[in-house]
Structure 1
Amino acid sequence: MATDIKAPTFPESVADGTIATWHKQPGESCKRDELLADIETDKVVLEIVAPADGVLKEILKGEGETILSEELIGRFSAGETGDAPAVAAAPATAEVSSATHSDPVLSPAARRAAEELNVNPGAVSGTGKDGRVTKEDVLAFAKGGNTPVVAAPEPAAQAPASVAPKSQPSPMAPVFDGERVEKRVPMTRIRAKVAERLVEAQQTAAMLTTFNEVNMKPIMDLRAQYKDKFEKRHGVKMGFMSFFVKAAVEALKRQPVVNASIDGNDIVYHGYQDIGVAVSSDRGLVVPVLRNAESMGLSDVESTIREYGTKARDGKLSIEDMTGGTFTISNGGVFGSLLSTPILNPPQAAILGMHKIQERPMAVNGEVVILPMMYLALSYDHRLLDGKEAVTFLVTMKELLEDPARILLDV
């Protein structure tokens, strides 16, 4: 008996989705909870799994098609046994033709890696299940460690020079003979949504950025003194982000307008601090939220951020992980950024930008001292915040970070 395969129920903030990948084809056997398809939305990638052991009978919505919440996308038959893949029984020449002219089966992570590294997926040999190309295969190929599935066929004899293609070079190889290669790939749903929101922020908010700098030596000394004991007790490494989150919580309490947002003609003041932490993933920038950060300890912050980082890397972040947030912290310093102006994350009123720790000569008590310094940037919506509140917030952050005991003592 056939069972309908439907798209999941999308949250209210997600209008529709796109079929990113079908991992099974009609007639193929599936185990219970085995991955059937990936659905990409504006925020996350949702997985459709097999409801039982059986066979995928029919695909009603192909890859790249837009679907709505709970829309029928395929049919599944439980208890049946599928046929062997057609390529197993095909002659060798057919295998060569298929490998040469049809797209290989890629995991979503492998597809994204191939697009970012400009790698031709057809030239990568798959080591995953049923010959699936994995992200590791793509990375190995980009580094020259992966062998192509088949050799490129020779050009047809006597073909006109203007028609016969040259042997395809590696996408990472330099281009010779005056060739100007271009590649066009569609934006992912998440990247398109990020682009839309960034443009919206610049067009609708009166955005301004103020800067300050912080001496990181006190935190670095504290971290060096206690990092081993901290990791032994809590099972997580002590990083810098937890100090910035806790300092931001205290500064937001003292300047609640920085934690507010605009809703029409109303100002909404939030009596809690839900801190979003910007994370770069293969699919684009995502901002998971530390809920009730005011009640979290340093170890809670570090472990939650690590969990979010793992989820972002594996594409497992849920809608709930990224919903809400009253203030955002973005750390461009992990990529080496010395100074930047972060863009607001609407409808929030402000965003804090962290940067690279750079040793610089500083004047201390009339003497020049080399100190590890970090520039801080606060971008804010001038419709809601005046310069006084924004600058005071940033100065408070500086004071708390340069004397971490003040965070504990609330002074």
Structure 2
Amino acid sequence: MSIEVRVPTLGESVTEATVATWFKKPGDKVAADEMLCELETDKVTVEVPAPSAGTLGEIVAAEGETVGVDALLATLNEGAGAAPAPAQPAAEEKTGGGNVDVMVPTLGESVTEATVATWFKKVGDTVAQDEMLCELETDKVSVEVPAPASGTLTQIVAAEGSTVQANGKLAVIGGAGAATTPAPAASAAPAAAAEAPVASDRDVANAPSAEKLMAEKGLDPASVRGTGRDGRIMKEDVMRAAAAPAPVATAPASAPAAAPRAPVAAEDAEREERVKMTRLRQTIARRLKDAQNTAAILTTYNEVDMTEVMALRNQYKDEFEKKHGVRLGFMSFFTKACVHALKEVPEVNAEIDGTDIVYKNYVHMGIAAGTPQGLVVPVIRDADQMSFAGLEKAIAEKGRRARDGKLSMAEMQGGTFTISNGGVYGSLMSSPILNPPQSGILGMHKIQERPMVVNGQIVIRPMMYLALSYDHRIVDGKGAVTFLVRVKDALEDPRRLLMDL
């Protein structure tokens, strides 16, 4: 029997929240009332417990998505429940002498490695069972690793930034099997002496977002008063503590962590603001840098006279919108032109897999879109089989979902070629970076009137620079230039698109 996990009541006047962290992944067994995920609103952090024991089915609202009250978060298959401990079977390995190895948990289907993003604890810290030790990041999700037992963190094997394999060793906890009550008391009791001392329960572990923020700002948990259940430190508690003058005394203890940064004058530091990069921004940064490190990126340029496309669009835009219910823009023309060019130069639509070249006999077109959270690339699948109206509808719908933060991972994967339109921001010329593992990306730019020589006469024409960045390991200069010329020809004479020329 399937049970729906929905957004709980968030409080007076609060109508929506952001999914901050999923503690479980599809296929994990959960116990009744075990925490599944954490939501964040403008006011509080809200934990969502499992309504019953079972197995987590589908996650409907991914991390970073905005959800309303009573929105569907996930489904739970009832009847296969288990105690919380078995959810991370790979995280514990007895080594004798009271030591327990902390292992990389199961990362998900087809994911074989992860990067250690953040350690919430340091060597020598006392930890309670199920207290969050560190956070791992994969290309798809972030995974938090809880302590498999109570004790003292005696060794960190995989430091922040290192890559670990599935089932790899992360750390060692010594003194395992000791009473769990004293372990978190060191951090929970100073926060509020009158709070209940049973800090070994998972329910009173600090919010992961709070742990990260405290580590980032160099705050000792003992200096932060938790207002959550049983004294649990929430993200807003850390923000209040950071804004107060008292915690300044604890800053020198963590100052060495920020050593790589150049010294800043005190008066300048007071006017700075330090903000943690979002997971999306970190992923963008990592993927773009990986592309530069891996591919032999080269960019070639051309320019296109937009006169004919603009005239055709102006002639039919009203009739087009009346019939199809969507506006006729330039993106459908560029998508169609790229599809035709990709058929003639298939290596631009291919990718390298080891020592093989994988040619794609289809076009899944990525359309880069800027959002308040960062650049995302939703994919229009089988764009080569779509009409102008179908393309415009798909592009508009993906664009809306991107701006609303509703895109799923599936909607941003599988692209074979990408179009990026910097012209909407006023860019005149740029060199786009590849979206790996793709081998080509077309950069569109601002349409600007310039004097051009046509049939021996100087005339004013609406011109746009085009830039094709490509992986020179697979695409030769001849193929890149041919591709751009075919795109230019199709846009300067749109009738070629109808004739498949």
TM-score (norm 2): 0.52
Conserved 8 A contact 2:366-2:379: yes
CA change 1:203–1:19 in 2 (3 A) is farther
Taking the aligned partners of 1:297 and 1:348, their CA distance within structure 2 comes to 24
Question: Secondary structure, in 3 states, of the residue corresponding to 2:470?
Answer: strand
Q: Show the counterpart of 1:80.
A: none
1:249-398 matched pairs, under 5 angstroms = 249-398=339-488
Conserved 8 A contact 1:330-1:351: yes
Taking the aligned partners of 2:74 and 2:349, their CA distance within structure 1 comes to 43
1:21-60 matched pairs, under 5 angstroms = 21-23=39-41, 25=46, 40=63, 49=73
Q: Show the counterpart of 2:489.
A: 399
Conserved 8 A contact 1:361-1:370: yes
Taking the aligned partners of 1:317 and 1:178, their CA distance within structure 2 comes to 39
Deviations 1:144-175 (A, max 9, x none): xxxxxxxxxxxxxxx9xx99xxxxxxxxxxxx
Conserved 8 A contact 1:19-1:39: no
Conserved 8 A contact 1:227-1:238: yes
Conserved 8 A contact 1:219-1:402: yes
Q: Aligned pair count?
A: 290
Taking the aligned partners of 1:363 and 1:50, their CA distance within structure 2 comes to 61
Taking the aligned partners of 1:50 and 1:70, their CA distance within structure 2 comes to 17
Taking the aligned partners of 1:214 and 1:65, their CA distance within structure 2 comes to 48
CA change 1:369–1:188 in 2 (3 A) is same
Q: Show the counterpart of 2:329.
A: 239
CA change 1:51–1:350 in 2 (3 A) is closer
Question: Secondary structure, in 3 states, of the residue corresponding to 1:40?
Answer: coil
Conserved 8 A contact 1:208-1:381: yes
Q: Which has the higher contact order (CA 8 A, sep 6+)?
A: 1
1:42-191 matched pairs, under 5 angstroms = 49=73, 180-191=270-281
Conserved 8 A contact 1:213-1:398: yes
Taking the aligned partners of 1:309 and 1:4, their CA distance within structure 2 comes to 29
**Structure 2 unmatched ranges of 5 or more:** 6-22, 28-35, 52-58, 77-129, 147-244, 250-266
Question: Secondary structure, in 3 states, of the residue corresponding to 1:226?
Answer: helix
CA change 1:20–1:388 in 2 (3 A) is farther
What root-mean-square deviation, in Å, do the aligned CA atoms of Structure 1 and Structure 2 show?
3.8
Taking the aligned partners of 1:61 and 1:223, their CA distance within structure 2 comes to 60
CA change 1:25–1:328 in 2 (3 A) is closer
Taking the aligned partners of 2:365 and 2:432, their CA distance within structure 1 comes to 15
Q: Find 2:303's aligned residue among 205, 210, 213.
A: 213
CA change 1:61–1:188 in 2 (3 A) is farther
Taking the aligned partners of 1:373 and 1:200, their CA distance within structure 2 comes to 33
Conserved 8 A contact 1:274-1:290: yes
CA shift, 1:51, in A, is 7.3
Taking the aligned partners of 2:364 and 2:408, their CA distance within structure 1 comes to 16
Taking the aligned partners of 1:194 and 1:186, their CA distance within structure 2 comes to 14
Q: Find 2:313's aligned residue among 208, 217, 223.
A: 223
**Aligned amino acid, residue 40 of structure 2:** W
CA change 1:291–1:178 in 2 (3 A) is closer
Taking the aligned partners of 2:74 and 2:356, their CA distance within structure 1 comes to 47
CA change 1:49–1:180 in 2 (3 A) is same
CA change 1:72–1:238 in 2 (3 A) is same
CA change 1:367–1:347 in 2 (3 A) is same
CA change 1:179–1:404 in 2 (3 A) is same
Conserved 8 A contact 1:7-1:48: no
Conserved 8 A contact 2:38-2:47: no
CA change 1:72–1:224 in 2 (3 A) is same
Question: Secondary structure, in 3 states, of the residue corresponding to 1:340?
Answer: coil
Taking the aligned partners of 1:363 and 1:205, their CA distance within structure 2 comes to 38
Conserved 8 A contact 1:19-1:40: no
Taking the aligned partners of 2:357 and 2:275, their CA distance within structure 1 comes to 41
Taking the aligned partners of 1:27 and 1:195, their CA distance within structure 2 comes to 31
Question: Secondary structure, in 3 states, of the residue corresponding to 1:376?
Answer: strand
Regions of 4+ moved over 2 Å: 3-10, 18-28, 36-41, 44-52, 64-73, 177-180
**Aligned amino acid, residue 333 of structure 1:** G
CA change 1:219–1:61 in 2 (3 A) is farther
CA shift, 1:71, in A, is 8.4
Conserved 8 A contact 2:62-2:408: no
CA shift, 1:20, in A, is 7.0
Conserved 8 A contact 2:61-2:73: no
